[in-house]
Amino acid sequence: MNDFWEKEIEFININDKKRLQLERLNQTFERAKEANFYKKRFANIKKEGLKSLDDIKDLPFTTKQDLRDGFPYEFLTVPLSDVVRLQSSSGTTGNPVVIFHTQGDIDRWANLMARCMYMAGMRKSDIFQNIMGYGLFTGGFGFHYGAEKIGAMVIPIGTGNSQRQVWFLEKFKTSVMHILPSYALRLHAHILEEGLDPKKDLSLKIGFIGAEPHTDEIRRKIEDLYGIKAFNSYGLSEMNGPGVAFECQYQDGTHVWEDSFYPEIINPDTLEVLPDGEVGELVLTTLTREAMPVIRYRTRDLTRIISEPCKCGRTHRRLDRIKARSDDMIIINGVNIFPMQIEETLMRIKEIGHNYRIDIEKDNYMDKLHISVEINKESFTGSIAQLESIKKNVGERLKNELGVSSIIKLVESGTLPQNEGKIKRVFDNRDK
């Protein structure tokens, strides 16, 4: 059985990959000049072409604010009549970021998605339940077209209505699902409430999880609860959406499709490009996008590039799990904390359930970190003494990890609020 979708590209020799990237980078640079935004941006850049991949560092960055300011058409390089779809990034205030696609862009995106899903083991014979938002959000459509390309049967159910989700999972013997990691945990509780055992009564083998930050601990939890293999999927609307980077069978970092995106890691303060292996902000350039090329986009996602060869043999370098977004950092009385550190610590404690919430308050000029955590029903005996000891343990482990104290509140499983889309867990109330 083949375990690749496009052998020549996925296993491309490294020198050929670099040659292809340089060629496509130059095409992108030329094409970008057709857009009003880049025409102005590049007016003072004398470059006729990039001689090597390193020359990219002479090009300016593009930020989310640039994309917003360019609303609606400043980034468009083709006549509107050649555009077949518009997608947009998720809920923000002000102008949304809109991304335009030609038919060619849509076809290439579907192909990348097919590559991702096939790499993780999905085949034509699979039943694929797409539990992700359809519409302006890119998660639903991206996977939908990729799965159809593979030839799997797609159930385009979208998000929400857990009862209906479970019904479809069971009745149609869904073998692959695409789901937000936070919703996967919630849906599991619902499956149990329906009296079903996900491992015995459902036919799931694979889960694609992504679109929101999550730790490896959460992934392993999802794998255990459902008895599946769960693959991390990374992407962002500005780069199509999903299909930027995806895990292979070895689940050790996500292969970033370097024939379609050129990745760099920069120091977000000095903006210098960092060598592979060092953690910094991920910067991406589209290499094949027609309607709306984006050059050196600052993603705000903090990660590192893993350039060591992968056991699967693919030559596209890997991204380490996203550590955080640079704008997610919480500063508590001068100490920098990332929410993922909190999740990592909590999920290692067996008495802790799936959900948690972080509230930051100001009290007498001091920042106070409040962490509410759901308790794991299975390991809770109901005794007050046990509650006290869990609370103490959680407090001490978090203090060790974060270097600051927190106020822990234990709550019953399933009681913290959840919404349908990406989960929000940090509430900073200091300015209120």
- Distance separating alpha carbons of residues 29 and 209, to the nearest angstrom: 33
The minimum distance between CB 388 and ligand DLL, in angstroms, equals 35
Q: Does 67 bind ligand DLL (CB under 6 A)?
A: no
- Distance separating alpha carbons of residues 282 and 303, to the nearest angstrom: 7
Sort 164 into a burial class: Cβ within 10 Å, 0-12 / 13-18 / 19+. Answer: exposed
Q: Does 210 bind ligand DLL (CB under 6 A)?
A: yes
Interface positions, 167-196, toward ligand DLL (CB under 6 A): none
Report the residue number, 120 or 390, with the smaller CB distance to ligand DLL. 120
Q: Does 207 bind ligand DLL (CB under 6 A)?
A: no
Q: Where are the alpha helices (DSSP H) in 51-102?
A: 64-69
Q: Which two tokens stand for residue 256?
A: 């970033």
Contacting residue, 21, 130, 182, 299, with ligand DLL by CB under 6 A = 299
Interface positions, 80-99, toward ligand DLL (CB under 6 A): 89-90
Residues 6 or more apart whose Cβ sits within 8 Å of residue 87:
98, 99, 101, 136, 137, 138, 141, 237, 240, 241
The minimum distance between CB 120 and ligand DLL, in angstroms, equals 13
Report the residue number, 179 or 332, with the smaller CB distance to ligand DLL. 179
- Distance separating alpha carbons of residues 126 and 152, to the nearest angstrom: 5
Site mask, ligand DLL, residues 319-358, x = CB under 6 A?
A: ---x--x---------------------------------
* Stretch in the footprint of ligand DLL (CB under 6 A) among 34-42, 104-112, 131-139, 311-319: 131-139
DSSP per residue, 338-366: -HHHHHHHHHTSTTEEEEEEEEEEEETTE
- Distance separating alpha carbons of residues 260 and 269, to the nearest angstrom: 27
- Distance separating alpha carbons of residues 412 and 350, to the nearest angstrom: 15
Question: Quick one: DSSP state of residue 92?
Answer: -
Q: Which two tokens stand for residue 158?
A: 């979208």
Site mask, ligand DLL, residues 232-251, x = CB under 6 A?
A: xxxxxx---xx---------
Size of the site for ligand DLL (CB under 6 A): 21
* Stretch in the footprint of ligand DLL (CB under 6 A) among 14-22, 100-108, 194-202, 210-218: 210-218
The minimum distance between CB 366 and ligand DLL, in angstroms, equals 30
Report the residue number, 202 or 218, with the smaller CB distance to ligand DLL. 218
Are 59 and 295 contacting, i.e. CB atoms less than 8 angstroms apart?
A: yes
* Stretch in the footprint of ligand DLL (CB under 6 A) among 71-79, 160-168, 204-212, 288-296: 204-212
Give CA torsion, residues 117, 122, 126, 131, to 10 deg.
Answer: -40
Q: Does 10 bind ligand DLL (CB under 6 A)?
A: no
Applying CB under 6 A, which residues contact ligand DLL?
Answer: 89-90, 132, 138-139, 210-213, 232-237, 241-242, 299, 301, 322, 325
